[in-house]
């Protein structure tokens, strides 16, 4: 049996110094991911520093938007009226994740830093460069249905699992991080990394840096946002692909502003900036959306197990924009999620 100590510091600064000074220490949020990994032997920390009781559990309206404390539970955040009206896509992404019981326990910070669901990563009897650098990647020749199609490397083809992170990436969230040198702000698009030769490095945070909050800017675009997730079951399943989308139109019915991010395609939430650029100024009909998706996928690598993700991405992106606009090509069925998408 491996010895494991537990601490519950009273302040965020104490929590940071407790982890910072000990390479074997880990923050414990809701524990829904980390405790699983302890049981499986995937993670073997010597010390757990419980941050879940720190008073970082409020959602505050700010001049710029909203600030979400890292300990706000996923269920509470999804139901928060301010979030539902100002950032409906974030609320939908949260509700698309896990199950009610897990969402009651899972925290904002822990959700963003949950680890990949690659089956080999979770099976300590198999080679995995992320779990054990240099051991090899079992997913390259193995079960590959969940593998990445964008930004992968020979060392790792895993995807990032968080639904919340995809919505936050689309809507230009910023993560507030406390380290031993004080606070810094990290744009969501820069929080997670691509695998390269070091898939064991998953974020731009250093050991001991604590996510204390997430800030979301309030914009007209954010109010027109949604989240579409495709998965094997209606609940309790990770995304095969997912799309966070927001769109506004100009008076001619062309795209004035747009934000798109994809989940289930890469080692990080994928901001689809090329697709956005392709659609800006164009009427968002099905051919334009298909062209935009193809532009984003120009450097994608599909294998026999992942070829299905191409049409799925096209369909999910079309579905997301169609929902926001109440239909495409004048095929409106009047079910627009928000009144007056302009």
Ligand X SMILES: Cc1cc2nc3c(=O)[nH]c(=O)nc-3n(C[C@H](O)[C@H](O)[C@H](O)COP(=O)(O)OP(=O)(O)OC[C@H]3O[C@@H](n4cnc5c(N)ncnc54)[C@H](O)[C@@H]3O)c2cc1C
Binding site for ligand X (CB under 6 A): 26-34, 51, 70, 97-98, 102, 105-107, 109-111, 113-114, 161-164, 210-211, 236, 238
Report the distance separating Cα 79 and Cα 239, nearest Å.
21
**Do 55 and 88 meet the contact criterion of CB atoms below 8 Å apart?**
no
| Contact letters for ligand SF4, residues 141-160 (x by CB under 6 A) | ---------------xxx--
H-state helical runs in 106-203 = 108-112, 163-170
Residues 187-216 that bind ligand SF4 (CB under 6 A): 199
Site membership for ligand SF4, residue 138 (CB under 6 A): yes
Report the distance separating Cα 338 and Cα 249, nearest Å.
13
What value, to the nearest 5°, has the Cα angle with vertex 152 and ends 146 and 155?
A: 100
Report the distance separating Cα 143 and Cα 130, nearest Å.
16
Please state the closest distance from residue 96 (CB atom) to ligand SF4, in A. Answer: 23
β-pairing verdict for 47-50 and 25-28: parallel
Q: Which range touches ligand SF4 (CB under 6 A), out of 137-145, 180-188, 281-289, 308-316?
A: 137-145
Q: Which range touches ligand SF4 (CB under 6 A), out of 66-74, 132-140, 160-168, 295-303?
A: 132-140
Please state the closest distance from residue 114 (CB atom) to ligand SF4, in A. Answer: 13
H-state helical runs in the chain = 12-20, 34-40, 74-79, 81-86, 88-95, 100-105, 108-112, 163-170, 220-223, 273-279, 286-296, 309-325
Q: Which range touches ligand SF4 (CB under 6 A), out of 25-33, 34-42, 117-125, 323-331?
A: 117-125
Count the site residues for ligand SF4 by CB under 6 A.
14
Please state the closest distance from residue 45 (CB atom) to ligand X, in A. Answer: 8
Picked from ligand X, ligand SF4, none, the partner binding residue 129 (CB below 5 to 8 A depending on kind) is: ligand SF4
Q: Which of 27, 80, 121, 227 binds ligand SF4 (CB under 6 A)?
A: 121
Count Cβ atoms within 10 A of the Cβ of residue 208 and give its class: 0-12 exposed, 13-18 middle, 19 or more buried: buried
Question: Toward ligand X, which CB reaches closer, 264 or 284?
Answer: 264
Picked from ligand X, ligand SF4, none, the partner binding residue 236 (CB below 5 to 8 A depending on kind) is: ligand X
172: left (phi over 0), alpha (psi -120 to 50) or beta: left
Please state the closest distance from residue 29 (CB atom) to ligand X, in A. Answer: 3
Picked from ligand X, ligand SF4, none, the partner binding residue 68 (CB below 5 to 8 A depending on kind) is: none
Q: Which of 139, 188, 239, 289 binds ligand SF4 (CB under 6 A)?
A: 139
DSSP state of 189: G
């Amino acid at each position: 049996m491996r010895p494991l100590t537990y601490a519950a510091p009273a302040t965020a600064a104490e929590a940071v110094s407790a982890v910072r000074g000990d390479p074997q220490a880990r923050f414990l949020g809701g524990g829904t991911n980390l405790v699983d990994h302890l049981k499986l032997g995937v993670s073997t920390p010597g010390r757990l520093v419980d941050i879940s009781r720190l008073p970082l559990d409020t959602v505050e309206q700010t001049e710029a938007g909203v600030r979400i404390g890292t300990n706000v539970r996923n269920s509470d955040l999804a139901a928060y009226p301010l979030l539902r009206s100002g950032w409906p896509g974030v609320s939908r992404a949260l509700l698309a994740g896990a199950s009610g019981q897990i969402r009651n326990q899972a925290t904002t910070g822990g959700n963003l830093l949950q680890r990949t669901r690659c089956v080999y990563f979770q099976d300590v009897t198999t080679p995995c460069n992320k779990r054990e650098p240099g051991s090899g990647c079992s997913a390259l020749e193995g079960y590959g249905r969940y593998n990445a199609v964008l930004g992968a490397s020979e060392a790792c083809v895993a995807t990032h699992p968080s639904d919340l992170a995809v919505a936050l990436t689309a809507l230009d969230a910023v993560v507030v991080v406390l380290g031993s040198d004080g606070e810094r702000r990290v744009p969501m698009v820069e929080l997670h990394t691509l695998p390269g030769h070091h898939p064991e490095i998953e974020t731009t945070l250093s050991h001991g840096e604590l996510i204390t909050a997430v800030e979301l800017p309030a914009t007209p675009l954010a109010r027109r946002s949604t989240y579409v997730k495709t998965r094997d079951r209606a609940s309790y399943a990770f995304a095969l692909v997912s799309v966070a989308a927001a769109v506004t139109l100009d008076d001619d019915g062309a795209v004035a502003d747009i934000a798109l991010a994809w989940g289930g395609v890469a080692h990080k939430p994928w901001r689809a900036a090329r697709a956005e650029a392709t659609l800006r100024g164009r009427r968002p009909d099905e051919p334009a959306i298909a062209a935009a998706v193809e532009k984003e996928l120009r450097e994608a690598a599909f294998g026999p197990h992942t070829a299905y993700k191409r049409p799925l991405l096209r369909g999910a992106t079309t579905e997301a924009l169609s929902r926001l606009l109440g239909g495409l090509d004048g095929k409106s069925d009047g079910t627009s999620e928000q009144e007056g998408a302009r």
